[in-house]
Chains A and B, each alone.
Chain A
């Protein structure tokens, strides 16, 4: 029994205590929510960084095209040697006549030694072969070249029978599973099969393109997919993606992967694959209600046309269609001037004189990128076609074409379409992206296809009586994403695409009700055990590393930009000006003020000493001795382009190019990039790179000279 006042005191005390506890809880919550918000901001910034760098790379593809077209327009070859050299850049994708192809990519003469412990395939394939392959690849074994080639031959034979648009019905095999981009990430395919089951008569699959490039096991994925395609032809459907294209493969790693894994027969394998890719169907229709295409649609997409065109003529969608030249013995006087063609002795219908080089109206200035891009895309096709006409190009197996690329092709029982129109149909299907705004405009970021709005989607769905579209082509954080009011579904199956922990992969299942069910996954055990903070930090680190590399590659331009804000030459600028200057040079559209704490560590009174900041960046890149000249920076910045060009020149994929070839390449490249370099300058550069002095440049030597080769290769 206590006195009244002590009861009151107790009561007051406990009241205060719970009040304190309440206040404390609120405080902690406030602080915690702020922490989470910061994490979210970091996560989004990281994503932005990766995307902007990825799309900037794809913009490089445009630059490559600009380069080629600039070449055609302004470079006058001074000798037949140089002419050959240029023409070779375009011929690398020639298609063979059927018999020639069989002969060149013959596999029967390839002996499989007894010591070979990998899977042995025999045709027709059986489910056991598939399981053997899966097991072998899990054990990191390699399939013998003979079986690879054999498989590719059989795949091609099968694909030739398929229509451009495959049809799948859910009534036969209750559910259809649609997978998006895999990009050589075999672990993701294994995960999908593990979670969803292997393809079988009761399990249909649609793989929506981009099986190859970027990841290191593109070939294994192809082998597995083609194997299942042949075993279960009714249940397995493959769509072509924009990466099923040798021009793209040259740049994004698939070509390299094949040559490294198959040093002796890689070239043959690549040749066969080229002739398999062009036979992949362009789209899949589920229950006549859901259209599955890799990229998207445009306001001119015409499914009737798509069904009828000869899809295999488009070996590379990037370079436009490959035409057969009927003039085998064309006398060429000059590439740049008008030429006279003489009809060949077979008396084929030819025009008595070739059209003069198609010249468009005055090219817009290069400073207006968007316009220039558009101009380039319009003219590059004409230029390339014209050039190809003039240099001797071997036969393809297609029927004869004698007219210029813009004359219409008369179909026996259908409308007239131009080659140009056919090409655009395929380009749009494979390269387009959806956008939130209405309308349809050119996709200048990727360099091909369109950005299509919800109205375009609506029109297509209405015209063909469809319910929704499924497409891939874009990485999504959760592995899938709806847009256009749930009428367009993006499905992306390569998890951890940018970096471990960056995103999930997903696949979608459709039953007869056509209601999508999603399964998400992430193919790396470590990713699961990390906390959200750790995961974000890891991905963030990787993004910033890439960003710092980009900054370093623009050192000279950055110094110039900073100096504009430092007229008094104090060596310092404000952080605000830093942000503006960096964006003006890099043009990545990134939130630099948000990113600054990760990029600029030390400041004095809110001012940055920019020279020492750039020096710090350089030290990180470990190639400090090379940062002096702007020439080397240009090379460093353009190394992907250079690598691609080298690969095109190195036709036998030997990894070697001669001094002469290098000299030519460099001359062309530098005239396009407006770099002054005398012949002596080039020679010095060349000699300094030939480390083993054997008169050939191993282009790995070249890349290594600038620390460009990733050690992991």
Chain B
């Protein structure tokens, strides 16, 4: 059935599969439908998902070869990822939830977190956060004049870049 609302379920699945394949191919260096296993996280996340590292490892277990080659094949990845998108697993984090998270770390409720506090929380708590990730986060989050992260500003700066472009 044609028309504005008339996309049938098959159409949705086909479109999702195309989207996943495209994202996969961007990271497929050799054009042979394989990507380095370390890129799977980026692919999954760029498709609009927010898994934790632990959830990502679970996913990897499903898509890796029986004898890990260091590569993941599109053939295995596609059905797993399609299900994830259809089920809307690893749901996105709404802005207000994110704000509450930052506020939870801001004991004094001052509207900002100092550099030291942020580093402490990111590296000592939560999941393992590499030094490189920390540095990169600081480079865009830190206000050089106050040496602190004004998280409201930080959030609005980052959220602007988000566009949810999954088929509804």
Contact = CB atoms under 8 A, between A and B. Distances in A.
Contacts of B97: 27
B140 interface: yes
B140 A531 contact: yes
Interface in A573-601: 574, 576, 579, 591-594, 596-597
A35 B122 contact: no
Interface in B121-168: 121-122, 125-127, 129, 133, 136-137, 139-140, 158, 161-163, 165, 167-168
Nearest to A607: B4
A38 B121 contact: no
Interface of A: 20-38, 40-41, 44-45, 48, 436-437, 531-533, 568, 572, 574, 576, 579, 591-594, 596-597, 604-607
B18 A593 contact: yes
A349 B104 CA distance: 95
A583 to B, nearest CB: 10
20 contacts: A22-B126, A23-B101, A24-B100, A24-B105, A24-B121, A26-B126, A26-B127, A33-B50, A34-B45, A38-B46, A41-B23, A41-B26, A41-B46, A44-B26, A44-B27, A437-B30, A437-B32, A533-B140, A576-B167, A606-B167
Given A34-B50, A41-B46, A591-B26, 4 more contacts: A22-B126, A25-B122, A28-B126, A38-B161
Contacts of A592: 22
A28 B98 contact: yes
B45 A576 contact: no
A10 to B, nearest CB: 16
Contacts of B133: 32-33, 36
Contacts of B25: 591
Contacts of B89: none
Interface in B2-25: 2, 4-5, 7, 11, 14-15, 18-19, 22-23, 25
- Mostly, the B contact residues are helix
A286 B166 CA distance: 54
Contact of B46 (A21, A23, A37, A576): A37
Which 4 pairs between the two chains have the least Cβ-Cβ distance? A25-B126, A37-B45, A41-B46, A591-B22
Contacts of A605: 4-5
A551 to B, nearest CB: 18
A604 B5 CA distance: 11
A45 B4 contact: no
Contacts of B165: 593, 596-597
Interface string B47-62: 0011111000000000
Contacts of A606: 4, 7, 167-168
Contacts of A591: 22-23, 25-26
A616 to B, nearest CB: 18
Contacts of A45: 26
A91 to B, nearest CB: 42
Nearest to B15: A576
A29 B122 contact: yes
B98 A27 contact: yes
B105 A30 contact: no
Contact of A25 (B29, B45, B105, B136): B105
B1 interface: no
Contact of B26 (A32, A532, A594, A607): A594
Given A30-B51, A36-B133, A41-B46, A594 B23 contact: yes
A668 to B, nearest CB: 38
Given A40-B42, A591-B23, A30 B18 contact: no
Contacts of B43: 37, 41
Given A38-B46, A436-B32, A24 B102 contact: yes
Contacts of A32: 133, 137
B139 A532 contact: yes
Contacts of A48: 26
A309 B162 CA distance: 59
B93 A30 contact: yes
Contacts of A31: 50, 93, 98
B22 A28 contact: no
A28 B45 contact: no
A591 B51 CA distance: 23
Contacts of A24: 100-102, 104-105, 121
B129 A29 contact: yes
A277 to B, nearest CB: 34
A606 B43 CA distance: 24
Interface string B90-104: 001100011011101
B96 to A, nearest CB: 12
A440 B121 CA distance: 54
A672 B45 CA distance: 48
A31 B51 CA distance: 9
A532 B137 CA distance: 10
A26 B93 contact: no
A37 B42 contact: yes
Contacts of B46: 37-38, 40-41, 594
Nearest to A38: B46
B17 to A, nearest CB: 11
Contacts of B104: 20-21, 23-24
B32 to A, nearest CB: 7
Contact of B41 (A37, A436, A593): A37
B57 to A, nearest CB: 13
A189 to B, nearest CB: 30
A606 B4 CA distance: 8
Contact of B50 (A30, A572, A593, A604): A30
A532 B140 contact: yes
B136 A28 contact: no
A604 B165 CA distance: 14
A21 B32 CA distance: 44
Nearest to A41: B46
Interface in B45-89: 45-46, 49-53
Given A532-B136, A532-B139, A25 B167 contact: no
Contacts of A44: 26-27
A233 to B, nearest CB: 41
A532 B5 CA distance: 40
Contacts of A25: 101, 105, 121-122, 125-126
B106 to A, nearest CB: 10
A591 B19 CA distance: 8
Contacts of B42: 36-37, 40-41
A576 B22 CA distance: 12
B45 A33 contact: yes
A576 B105 contact: no
A440 to B, nearest CB: 17
A25 B52 CA distance: 11
B22 A593 contact: yes
Contacts of B161: 35, 38, 533
Contacts of B137: 32
A37 B43 CA distance: 7
A35 B45 CA distance: 8
Contacts of B19: 593-594
A33 B168 contact: no
A594 B165 CA distance: 9
A107 B14 CA distance: 69
